[in-house]
């Protein structure tokens, strides 16, 4: 954006607000002769991330876990900030505003009021809090100016603490293709709000209604996830995969009694069964839960029919509650368009039901629907809601992370002693090897944001082999056998393979595989006949599209099995060194780094 446009942005910014205090002249410093930089930060609890905007355009977004290699880390995103500044040749003094994804005072007041309300049962919550963590949130501004990051001159940015669910909603609506949409944010909790019903129109996003703690569809799912022996804040996707194996009827009635919803957007959990709000998230369920549903499953223990049936009942109840929510939201905001965000919006089976059975014609789901995406949301709130910059519909929300040139890729491969071949026909060659049954590590361009690998940090394989799922699990991923693998399919061919398919560029919708085609693609067909689909358009990722197309020309199947480039428990690989380490530590056949084809010596 040139000086004239930047000047216009500032004038518009003084006029706008969208439910926020209208910024006065002192809030917007003299930046007329240059671009305006906004930094969005999420972190301190889980899924820390950083997004950088120049004027209204996102330049990059990256999660801290990709640097520290600790999955879902909630650490202050020190590495992500340092990379972001270095990547764009900036320092702290170039930033105009920094947005943080939560309001610590709201958090503190909400928790204190809850502790008083449930006292003395809440004693554990009061005595186990980490005051250092709370102070850390209040001290963000100081952390950003403490000399850890470069600054040519004293940094003059203004730090703004933002409403958590507003950042979710902004991340869902403002990058969407819609001029008007209903917006639903569902997560565990942000400050004390757990479900956010709202409306987006033009450059504005506003809340219409909300549900507050302790009543939370996300925390209900997390609590049962914990009961089933998986980690909350990350293991929910495993439970979703497990649910397809179970009989939902066996525990449905009992599970349904724990959750009450009403047609007017109300939600209440039977809190006699849950303890997260009393225990600083140390205990999730009360003994009453085990009395009702049986003993909890120990982590890493053998999978049982009981666990599968509990997961199935949980999944069905959550889907029904979410359908009631979207129907209510459609009454509040009668639009054909729905935008979804919040950690619960990563539940692609639920999203598929909302798409098929809900009242909305079109759905847009942010790829980083979890809290990582609120870094994007924070930047979007500053750029558009606070300063009124025009929305940018066409920018990619996916490929926003680090990329590496050929020299860096080659150096990493050589350091590991790999056999390297540079091929001009790398796409055709890789398609050939995939069709021959090889498992390929595919490392290209800018890293994806969010938990799904979408064709730049992916492990790819032929979806046709009935044994491919087990082969990948045995030789590469080492993950739970009940978890399905997902397909990437050319967007124009999706309808030939999946019933009711619609655009799903972020792999966040599940569709049934057409019954007559299931035998052709057994490696991506889940036990219940469904698949979590990524539809790929040429304009979104030209090289990945070309690869799937080349595979389709050879096999008649225009799709690939796509799983994230990592092993179980690790974040997706970030650098060529990470990719090489993952490749050499597993029995993958081929590693493709840009145009370099690498094999083990
Ligand atoms: Fe959230």
**Please, are residues 243 and 314 in contact by the beta-carbon 8 Å criterion?**
yes
Share of the chain above pLDDT 70, in %: 94
Element spanning 488, H or E: strand 486-490
Is the pLDDT confidence value at 261 over 50? yes
Is the pLDDT confidence value at 117 over 90? no
Instruction: State residue 10's pLDDT score.
Output: 28
- Distance of CA 517 from the midpoint of ligand 1 (Å): 38
Instruction: State residue 559's pLDDT score.
Output: 98
- Distance of CA 371 from the midpoint of ligand 1 (Å): 5
Output the six-digit token pair for 412: 């990493």
Distance CA 289, CA 220 (A): 12
- Distance of CA 62 from the midpoint of ligand 1 (Å): 17
- Distance of CA 183 from the midpoint of ligand 1 (Å): 14
Distance CA 275, CA 474 (A): 38
Backbone torsions φ then ψ of 261, nearest 5 degrees: -130, 160
Distance CA 187, CA 166 (A): 12
| More confident of the two residues 509 and 28 | 509
Q: What is the DSSP string of 376-395?
A: HHHHHIIIIIIT-PPP-SSS
Q: Can you tell me the mean pLDDT for 369-373?
A: 94
Is the pLDDT confidence value at 139 over 90? no
Cis amide prior to 120 (ω within 30 degrees): yes
- Distance of CA 167 from the midpoint of ligand 1 (Å): 9
Output the six-digit token pair for 292: 């009702």
Instruction: State residue 472's pLDDT score.
Output: 94
- Distance of CA 72 from the midpoint of ligand 1 (Å): 13
Is the pLDDT confidence value at 28 over 80? no
Among 281, 273, 280, 285, residue whose Cα is nearest residue 227: 285
Least confident of 100-109, 165-174, 416-425, 450-459: 100-109
Q: Convert the pLDDT of each residue in 395-436 to its tens digit.
A: 788 999 999 999 999 999 999 999 999 999 999 999 999 999
Q: Convert the pLDDT of each residue in 176-191 to its tens digit.
A: 999 999 999 999 989 8
Confidence label for 33 from pLDDT (cuts 50, 70 and 90): low
Element spanning 255, H or E: helix 248-256
- Distance of CA 601 from the midpoint of ligand 1 (Å): 45
Produce one character per residue of 380-406: b if its CB has 16 or more CB atoms within 10 Å, e if not: bbbbbbbbbbbbbeeebbbbbbbebee
How many Cα atoms sit within 13 Å of 192 on the Cβ side? 15
Distance CA 167, CA 179 (A): 18
- Distance of CA 166 from the midpoint of ligand 1 (Å): 10
- Distance of CA 394 from the midpoint of ligand 1 (Å): 25
Instruction: State residue 150's pLDDT score.
Output: 86
- Distance of CA 355 from the midpoint of ligand 1 (Å): 22
Instruction: State residue 155's pLDDT score.
Output: 84
Share of the chain above pLDDT 90, in %: 77
| More confident of the two residues 119 and 583 | 583
- Distance of CA 103 from the midpoint of ligand 1 (Å): 12
- Distance of CA 342 from the midpoint of ligand 1 (Å): 5
Q: Write the burial class of residue 499 (CB in 10 Å: 0-12 exposed, 13-18 middle, 19+ buried).
A: middle
Distance CA 194, CA 215 (A): 7
| More confident of the two residues 524 and 31 | 524
- Distance of CA 527 from the midpoint of ligand 1 (Å): 31
Q: Can you tell me the mean pLDDT for 163-168?
A: 97
- Distance of CA 6 from the midpoint of ligand 1 (Å): 31
- Distance of CA 352 from the midpoint of ligand 1 (Å): 21
- Distance of CA 227 from the midpoint of ligand 1 (Å): 22
Helix (H, G, I), strand (E, B) or coil at 601: coil
Instruction: State residue 115's pLDDT score.
Output: 82
Instruction: State residue 119's pLDDT score.
Output: 83
Instruction: State residue 180's pLDDT score.
Output: 97
Signed CA dihedral, 342, 116, 266, 217: sign only: positive
Confidence label for 22 from pLDDT (cuts 50, 70 and 90): very low
| More confident of the two residues 13 and 101 | 101
Alpha helices in 473-515 (DSSP H): 494-497
Is the pLDDT confidence value at 245 over 50? yes
| More confident of the two residues 154 and 163 | 163
Mean pLDDT, all residues of the chain: 90
Instruction: State residue 260's pLDDT score.
Output: 97
Instruction: State residue 105's pLDDT score.
Output: 85
**40 to 21, 58, 101, 376, 571: CA distances (angstroms):** 19, 10, 7, 6, 21
Q: What is the DSSP string of 158-190?
A: EEEE--HHHHHHHHHHTTSS-SEEEEEEEEEEE
- Distance of CA 234 from the midpoint of ligand 1 (Å): 13
Q: Can you tell me the mean pLDDT for 565-594?
A: 95
Confidence label for 3 from pLDDT (cuts 50, 70 and 90): very low
Output the six-digit token pair for 77: 């995103």
Q: Convert the pLDDT of each residue in 193-226 to its tens digit.
A: 999 999 999 999 999 999 999 999 999 999 999 9
Distance CA 408, CA 595 (A): 12
Q: Convert the pLDDT of each residue in 482-535 to its tens digit.
A: 999 999 999 999 999 999 999 999 999 999 999 999 999 999 999 999 999 999
- E-strand stretches of 267-392: 267-269, 337-341, 362-365
């Amino acid at each position: 954006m040139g000086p004239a446009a930047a000047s216009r942005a500032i004038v518009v910014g003084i006029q706008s607000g969208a439910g926020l205090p209208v910024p006065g002249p002192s809030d917007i410093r003299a930046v007329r002769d240059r671009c305006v930089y906004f930094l969005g930060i999420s972190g301190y609890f889980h899924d820390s991330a950083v997004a950088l905007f120049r004027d209204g355009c996102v330049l990059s977004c990256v999660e801290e876990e990709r640097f520290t290699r600790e999955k879902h880390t909630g650490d202050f995103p020190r590495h992500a900030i340092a990379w972001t500044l270095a990547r764009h040749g900036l320092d702290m003094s170039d930033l105009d505003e920094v947005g943080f994804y939560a309001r610590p005072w709201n958090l503190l007041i909400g928790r204190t009021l809850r502790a008083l309300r449930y006292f003395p049962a809440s004693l554990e919550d009061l005595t186990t809090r980490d005051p250092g963590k709370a102070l850390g949130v209040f001290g963000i501004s100081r952390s950003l100016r403490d000399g850890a990051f470069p600054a040519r001159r004293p940094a003059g940015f203004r730090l703004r603490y933002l409403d958590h669910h507003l950042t979710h909603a902004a991340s869902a609506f403002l990058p969407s293709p819609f001029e008007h949409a209903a917006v639903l944010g569902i997560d565990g909790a942000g400050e004390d709000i757990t479900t956010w019903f709202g409306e987006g129109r033009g450059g504005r996003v506003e809340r219409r209604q909300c549900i507050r703690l302790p009543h939370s569809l996300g925390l209900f799912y997390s609590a049962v996830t914990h009961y089933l022996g998986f980690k909350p804040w990350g293991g929910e996707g495993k439970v979703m995969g497990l649910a397809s194996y179970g009989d939902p009827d066996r525990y449905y009635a009992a599970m349904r009694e724990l959750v009450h919803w009403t047609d007017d957007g109300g939600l209440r959990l039977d809190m006699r069964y849950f303890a997260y709000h009393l225990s600083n998230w140390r205990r999730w369920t009360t003994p009453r839960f085990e009395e009702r549903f049986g003993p909890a499953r120990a982590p890493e223990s053998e999978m049982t029919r009981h666990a599968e049936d509990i997961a199935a009942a949980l999944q069905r109840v959550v889907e029904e509650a979410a359908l009631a929510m979207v129907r209510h939201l459609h009454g509040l905001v009668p639009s054909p368009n729905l935008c979804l965000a919040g950690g619960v919006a990563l539940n692609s089976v639920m999203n598929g039901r909302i798409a098929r059975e809900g009242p909305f014609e079109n759905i847009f789901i942010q790829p980083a629907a979890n809290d990582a995406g609120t870094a994007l949301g924070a930047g979007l709130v500053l750029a558009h809601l606070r300063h009124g910059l025009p929305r940018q519909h066409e920018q990619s929300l996916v490929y926003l992370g680090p990329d590496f040139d050929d020299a860096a890729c080659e150096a990493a491969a050589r350091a590991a002693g790999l056999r390297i071949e540079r091929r001009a026909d790398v796409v055709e060659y890789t398609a050939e090897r995939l069709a021959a049954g090889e498992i390929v590590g595919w490392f290209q361009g800018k890293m994806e944001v969010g938990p799904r690998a979408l064709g730049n940090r992916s492990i790819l394989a032929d979806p046709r082999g009935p044994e491919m799922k087990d082969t990948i699990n045995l030789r590469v991923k080492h993950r739970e056998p009940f978890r399905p693998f997902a397909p990437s399919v050319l967007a124009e061919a999706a309808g030939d393979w999946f019933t009711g398919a619609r655009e799903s560029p972020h792999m966040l919708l599940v569709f049934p595989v057409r019954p007559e085609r299931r035998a052709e693609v057994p490696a991506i067909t889940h036990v219940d006949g469904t698949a979590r689909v990524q539809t790929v358009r040429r304009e979104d990722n030209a090289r990945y599209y070309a690869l799937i197309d080349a595979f389709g020309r050879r096999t008649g199947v225009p799709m690939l099995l796509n799983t994230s480039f990592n092993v179980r428990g690790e974040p997706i690989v970030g650098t060529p060194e990470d990719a090489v380490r993952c490749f050499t530590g597993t029995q993958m056949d081929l590693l493709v780094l840009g145009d370099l084809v690498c094999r083990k010596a």
